[in-house]
Amino acid sequence: MREIVIDTETTGLDCNNGDRVIEVGCVELLNHISTGRTFHKYINPGRAVAADAVNVHGLTDAFLRDQPSFETIADELIAFLGDSVLVAHNAGFDRDFINMELDLCGRAPIEADRFVDTLLLARRRHPNGPNNLDALCARYGIDNSARTKHGALLDSEILAEVYLELIGGRQATLELASIGSVSAGVATIGEAGARPRPLAPRLTPEDVAAHETFLGELGSDPLWNRYRGQGEAGAP
C-alpha cells in the first residue's frame, strides 16, 4: 500500500481570505515504510506573507519572490501524489489549501476521503493530549531537534514517524526485523561445518554401567528397547 505524508506552509491561516500555499513537502511510504522518495517545492504566492506566519516558518517575501508559482508545479505534485492515501496532521487545513490552489489553476480537487488525519488518530489514542507534532515527538521519543522552524518537508518526515507510532507500524516493523534476524541466525547455524575435533563424551564408564543395570531391572521386554531399535525381545 502506497501512502504519502504531506504538509504545507502558507502565507496565513485562511485560504478563503486570500492566503496561499508557499511550501509543499511530501514523503512516500510503501507498506508503512519510508522509501526515501520525497517531493518538495517552495512556491511564490503572489502576495505578502503575514508577519505571524514568517515567525512560524521563516519563509520571507524576498526568498519566495524567485520561486515558481503553484500552477507551475501543480502537475508534478499531482503525479507524485497519484491515487495514494494522503496522511496529514490537521488534514482539513492542508486539504483546503491544496484544493484552493488546484482550483485556481484549473485542476480537480482531492477528495476528502483520501486523507488520513493524524491529529484525529492522536486524539483518539491520547484523549488528554496535547497532540501537536512536538508533543507527539516527545511522547514517542522521536528526535525533532532540527525543527527550529516549521518546514513542510521536515515536518512530513517527522510526521511519518509519528504516524507509524500511532498505527503501531513501527513496532510491527521491528518485530519483523527481529524475526528475520533470528531466521538468519538459524540459517547460519545450519550451514556450519562439522567440528574439527569431536566433543569429549560427558558420560563416564560408571554412568554407562549404571544405566545398563537400570535397564536390566525393567523386565524381559521393556518399552525402552523399542526406542533403542532392538525390537520387542532381548535385553541390551
Q: Is residue 184 part of a domain?
A: no
Q: Give yes or no for residue 169 having a pLDDT over 80.
A: no
What is the pLDDT confidence band of residue 194, given thresholds at 50, 70 and 90? low
Q: Mark whether 150 is an active-site residue.
A: yes
Q: Is residue 213 part of a domain?
A: no
86-91 mean pLDDT: 98
What is the reported pLDDT for 22? 98
Mean pLDDT to the nearest integer, 24-42: 97
Residue 157 included in any domain: yes
Q: Which CATH number fits the domain that encloses residue 66? A: 3.30.420.10
Residue 167, pLDDT above cutoff 60: yes
Give the mean pLDDT of 91-120: 98
User: How far is it, in rounded angstroms, from Cα 17 to Cα 211?
Assistant: 93
Q: Is residue 195 part of a domain?
A: no
Q: Which residue has the higher pLDDT, 79 or 187?
A: 79
Confidence at residue 229, expressed as pLDDT on a 0 to 100 scale? 56
Judge whether 124 lies within some domain: yes
CA 13 to CA 97: how far, in whole Å? 9
On whether residue 19 sits in a domain, the answer given is: yes
179 band by pLDDT with thresholds 50, 70 and 90: very low
Residue 83 contacts by C-beta under 8 Å, 6 or more apart in sequence? 114
Domain that holds residue 154: 2-173
Which pLDDT belongs to residue 175?
45
Determine which one of 32, 40, 126, 150 is catalytic: 150
- Count of domains forming the chain: 1
Closest CA to 44 of 109, 101, 107, 110: 101
Domain membership flag for residue 208: no
Specify if 55 maps to a domain. yes
